[in-house]
Amino acid sequence: MASITINDVHGFAILVTELVEKVGKKFIRANNAAAKNVTDLQIGGREIKLEADTMLEKELIKGLSHTGIAILSEETGFIPGKSLPQLLWVIDPLDGSYNFSRNLGPSMISVALWDENEPVLGVLFNLVTKQMIFGGPQIGAHVGKNPVTVSDRKDRGQATLVTGFPSRFPISDAKAVASFAEILTSFGKVRMIGSACASLALVATGSADVYAEHNIMFWDIAAGLAIVNGAGGTFELEGVNLSEGVFSEPCTVVASNNKFDVSVTMFDKMRGIA
């Protein structure tokens, strides 16, 4: 991460937290009923797209484009940059779209900055609680102005795993489902909340201990991984290589409080490589 300084990181953090909070609060105030309109159903109807996705994305891209840094956004895809080619903004304008559409649980605006294959910064804004969470390896992790850290739990039998069935999960594959069940039963508690970045925020704040998911998209987790790093946690990510432009296919990820022997190999049976 030698290409940018700590002052640069702090400057980007100020820029993005102000942008995300502004966009999020404006969106909430507007209370636009059209935001919940379904614009597309993908993957057999298991992936929902709303008007809100494009509404939020438009404002976020507008706010970041002047930096000249390339942007990867869930709805628009890759937008080439004009400077600092090793850096990449990663946007998920609405993580937890189905939660948002049904008032079921957390839905988050998510923006991250990565330097090749290393996270620099992650910023999340919870549209339900209006809570801001941000962090990165060089700046720690914070909920609002308050610093947070991962948990200190070491006993797997007392640990909480947050995970989910992403849209691309092979739910009709009995062997995959059985292998997934094996993973779940190795932890004391399991929670599924319908938002990958909100799940990672739980690990970063110490409310949960491990997050693991297979067939998830990079934009769903990019900001959350940066925040977990800032909170003292670690992660392992397979299927993404920003240095080689590999970021548009489903990936496998495990993030934790760094107190457990966990890795993406826990999904090997599901992936048919064990």
Three-state secondary structure along 4-18? CCHHHHHHHHHHHHH
Looking at the DSSP assignment, which residues form a beta bridge with residue 246?
A: 241
> Is the pLDDT confidence value at 171 over 90?
no
Give 60-116 pLDDT, tens digit per residue.
999 999 999 999 999 899 999 998 899 999 999 999 999 999 999 999 999 999 999
Over range 226-247, report the average pLDDT.
Answer: 95
pLDDT tens-digit readout, 62-78: 999 999 999 999 989 99
22: confidence class by pLDDT, cuts 50, 70, 90: very high
First and final C-alpha spacing in the chain: 35
What is the chain's percent helix, strand, coil content, to nearest 5?
A: 35, 30, 35
Would you state the structure tokens that stand for residue 137, as one six-digit string? 């390896």
Report how far residue 270's alpha carbon sits from residue 274's, in angstroms, rounded to the nearest whole number. 8
For the chain, the C-alpha Rg in angstroms (whole number) is 18
Query: If you ran DSSP here, which 8-state letter would residue 246 be given?
Result: B
Q: Are 128 and 233 in contact (CB under 8 A)?
A: no
- Mean pLDDT calculated for residue range 136-144: 97
Q: What is the rounded distance in angstroms from the CA atom of residue 251 to the CA atom of residue 246?
A: 10
Q: How confident is the model at residue 136 (pLDDT cuts 50, 70, 90)?
A: very high
Q: Which pLDDT belongs to residue 271?
A: 73
- The single-letter DSSP state of residue 241 is B
pLDDT at site 126: 97
Q: In what order do the strands lie in the sheet with 160-162?
A: 189-191, 160-162, 210-216, 251-256, 234-238
The beta strands (E) that lie in 69-203 are given as 70-73, 77-79, 87-95, 108-115, 118-126, 132-136, 140-143, 146-147, 160-162, 189-191
Question: What letters, b where the CB count within 10 A reaches 16 and e where it falls short, cover 217-237?
Answer: bbbbbbbbbbbbbbbbbbbeb
Q: Answer whether residue 221 shows pLDDT above 90.
A: yes
For residue 83, the number of C-alpha atoms closer than 13 Å in the C-beta half-sphere is: 7
pLDDT at 267: 86
**What domains appear along the chain, each with residue ranges and CATH number?**
6-147 (3.30.540.10), 156-267 (3.40.190.80)
pLDDT of residue 216: 93
pLDDT number for residue 37:
86
What is the edge-to-edge ordering of all strands in the sheet holding 118-126? Answer: 77-79, 70-73, 87-95, 108-115, 118-126, 132-136, 140-143, 146-147
Residue 22's Cα: distance from chain center in Å? 20
* Of 20-24, 62-66, 150-154, 260-264, minimum mean pLDDT range: 260-264
pLDDT for residue 1 is more than 60:
no
pLDDT at residue 43 tops 70: no
225 pLDDT band, cuts 50/70/90, is very high
